[in-house]
Amino acid sequence: MVQDERYMQRCLDLAILGAGTVSPNPMVGAVILHDGLIIGEGYTSPYGGPHAEVNAVQDAYQKLGEAEAKTRFHTSTMYVSLEPCSHFGKTPPCADMLVELQFERVVIGCLDPFARVNGQGLKKLQEAGIDTTVGVLEEACMFINRRFFTRIQQQRPYVILKWAQTDDGFFSPEDATQQWISNKASKQLVHKWRGEEDAILVGTSTALIDNPTLTTRLWSGKNPKRILIDKELKVPADAAIFNEEAETIVFNEQQTDWQKDRKLIALEHFDLYLPQQLLYQLYLMDVQSLIIEGGAKTLQSFLNAGIWDEARVFVSLHRWGQGKPAPKLTAMIDATQKVGDDELRIYFNRKV
């Protein structure tokens, strides 16, 4: 079992390399072990490309030659962090490939909750006589794909709240001017996070006061979809949030207009269950994860609705003595991390 955990951890290390590129697919890693040696490994390609198991097999072909690799597969173990798929999607079923290649054993981190898989991939392997083990590092395998699991099981994106506050609990100045709280290292880390999520959301006030581009310009990564809550369409068309670096979706009360990079979506009952409405619309657009960066009113609306999964709060050394209070979060801190002289506090919503 210790050996199984060791190689499953390697699968997880590989899986995270797909962060920000595989959505709405899950992040998966795969390792092929033969006589105590790894002969192939891989992780899921960007969306539409080969899955982890296929890439591991191809890696073995490149290292050993196809004929030699196929011979060794008969006495090899395939480790994979998520149940092999059993249906035709963008690619053929991985479970069928493992059966065809006659792997001796398959070790699976956790089952896939997607209705068209959910035990069916495992069943195919077992019916073919392949020795199977399920549940190795199961919690870790589920955690790494918490975005995927949330979308499948709750029909909404995984929601990450992010903000910075002063040491004495203030979010912004009273006069609504822009003033940075966190340091440069924290700002760069936020840009890294943006590249790992499907979409980023702000409200009208943030768009007007900060005029953010909401891109990953301080980090190498894709720009997320930009989501703007703008009930009365107050944000001008030349605002930075509408530049051509990414698509922007505007939820409002007045107009629906579907253009290339600027999509307006009118909600009929705008003020009624707004967080729930937004998340369901984004779910229908295959948005698997959402990071909410402000403002305080927008963040608090998701906290009040109880619809959030993770909160990342930077606390600086600054003390203002006055200002607009930071959002009220009653959850217990799960972890802390120093980012320069800022403290990053991580929370998870255990009530969801």
DSSP 274-343: HHHHHHHHHHHTT--EEEEEE-HHHHHHHHHHT--SEEEEEE-S---SSSEEPPP--SPP-EEEEETTEE
Q: Does 86 lie in the same domain as 26?
A: yes
* Closest residue by Cα to residue 35 from 88, 87, 75: 75
Give the residue from 127, 150, 173 where a domain finishes.
150
Q: Does 224 lie in the same domain as 207?
A: yes
Q: Considering 41, 53, 83, 310, which one is annotated as catalytic?
A: 53
pLDDT at 1 over 70: no
Q: Does 126 lie in the same domain as 108?
A: yes
pLDDT at 228 over 70: yes
Does 51 count as an annotated binding residue?
yes
Does 164 count as an annotated binding residue?
yes
Q: Does 237 lie in the same domain as 194?
A: yes
Beta bridge partners of 238: none
Judge whether 29 and 81 are in contact, CB under 8 Å: yes
Q: What is the residue range of 215's domain?
A: 155-348
Phi-psi region of 294 (alpha: psi -120 to 50; beta: other; left: phi over 0): left
C-alpha angle 60/61/66, rounded to 5°? Answer: 135
Does 300 count as an annotated binding residue?
yes
Active site residue 53: yes
What are 52-100's pLDDT values in tens digits?
999 999 999 999 999 999 999 999 999 999 999 987 666 689 999 999 9
Does 40 count as an annotated binding residue?
no
Does 296 count as an annotated binding residue?
yes
What are 299-323's pLDDT values in tens digits?
999 999 999 999 999 999 999 999 9
Burial 184-204 (b: 16+ CB within 10 A, else e): eebbebbbebbbbbbbbbbbb
Q: Does 293 lie in the same domain as 212?
A: yes
Looking at residue 345, what is its pLDDT? 98
Q: Does 306 lie in the same domain as 178?
A: yes
Q: Does 182 lie in the same domain as 134?
A: no
Question: Token pair 């065809």 is at which residue?
Answer: 100
Give the residue from 122, 150, 178 where a domain finishes.
150
Does 217 count as an annotated binding residue?
yes
CA atoms within 13 A on the CB side of 344: 16
CB count in 10 Å sphere of residue 334? 12
Judge whether 302 and 347 are in contact, CB under 8 Å: no
Q: Does 180 lie in the same domain as 324?
A: yes
Give the residue from 105, 132, 150 where a domain finishes.
150
What are 142-194's pLDDT values in tens digits?
999 999 999 999 999 999 999 999 999 999 998 877 888 999 999 999 999 99
What are 181-202's pLDDT values in tens digits?
999 999 999 999 999 999 999 9
Cis peptide before 24 (omega within 30 of 0): yes
CB count in 10 Å sphere of residue 26? 28
CA distance 191 to 169: 23
Does 85 count as an annotated binding residue?
yes
Does 180 count as an annotated binding residue?
yes
CATH number at residue 256: 3.40.430.10
Q: Does 168 lie in the same domain as 146?
A: no
Q: Does 90 lie in the same domain as 8?
A: yes
CATH number at residue 93: 3.40.140.10
Structural domain count of the chain: 2
Q: Does 287 lie in the same domain as 138?
A: no
* Closest residue by Cα to residue 111 from 28, 34, 183, 199: 28
Does 141 count as an annotated binding residue?
no
Q: Does 144 lie in the same domain as 165?
A: no
Give start and end residues of each alpha helix (H) in 119-235. Answer: 120-127, 138-144, 146-154, 184-196, 204-210
Question: Token pair 């050394």 is at which residue?
Answer: 317
Beta bridge partners of 218: none
Looking at residue 259, what is its pLDDT? 86
Share of the chain above pLDDT 70, in %: 98
Burial of 144 (0-12, 13-18, 19+ CB in 10 A): buried
Looking at residue 294, what is its pLDDT? 86
Beta bridge partners of 225: 199
Considering the entire predicted model, what is its pTM? 0.93
Q: Which tops the pLDDT comparison, 118 or 192?
A: 192
CA distance 245 to 236: 17
Contacts 24+ apart (CB under 8 A), 122-128: 122/83, 122/95, 123/86, 124/86, 124/93, 124/95, 124/96, 124/99, 125/84, 125/95, 125/98, 125/99, 128/99
